[in-house]
């Protein structure tokens, strides 16, 4: 399953919080809510986060074995 734990750590390392992503116009509140629940988001969102934070994909998401895969 995909996790956003690396993003939450990246934000802490940069002295930011989740809401900063919304306030800077990087993602919407709805997208933040999805990510906070661990739901999937479009790759365009991940790309936008990487571009705006100047970071790599591995700083935003990671794969953790286990969990259920949704067909949605």
Q: Is residue 15 part of a domain?
A: yes
- The 10s digit of each residue's pLDDT in 34-55 is 999 999 999 999 999 999 999 9
Q: Is residue 71 part of a domain?
A: no
Q: Is residue 39 part of a domain?
A: yes
Domain harbouring 46, CATH code: 1.10.260
Q: What's the domain count of the chain?
A: 1
Q: What separation in angstroms does the CA of 12 have from each of 1, 15, 17, 54?
A: 22, 5, 7, 15
The 10 Å Cβ neighbour count of residue 22 is 16
Q: Is residue 21 part of a domain?
A: yes
- The 10s digit of each residue's pLDDT in 20-39 is 999 999 999 999 999 999 99
Please check whether residue 49 is in contact with residue 7, taking contact to mean a CB–CB distance below 8 angstroms: yes
Q: Is residue 35 part of a domain?
A: yes
Q: Is residue 69 part of a domain?
A: no
């Amino acid at each position: 399953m995909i996790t956003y734990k690396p993003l939450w750590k990246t934000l802490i390392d940069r002295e930011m919080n989740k809401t900063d992503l919304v306030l800077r116009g990087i993602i919407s509140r709805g997208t933040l809510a999805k990510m906070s629940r661990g739901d999937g988001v479009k790759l365009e969102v991940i790309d936008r986060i990487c571009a705006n934070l100047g970071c790599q994909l591995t700083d935003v998401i990671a794969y953790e074995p286990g969990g259920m895969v949704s067909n949605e």
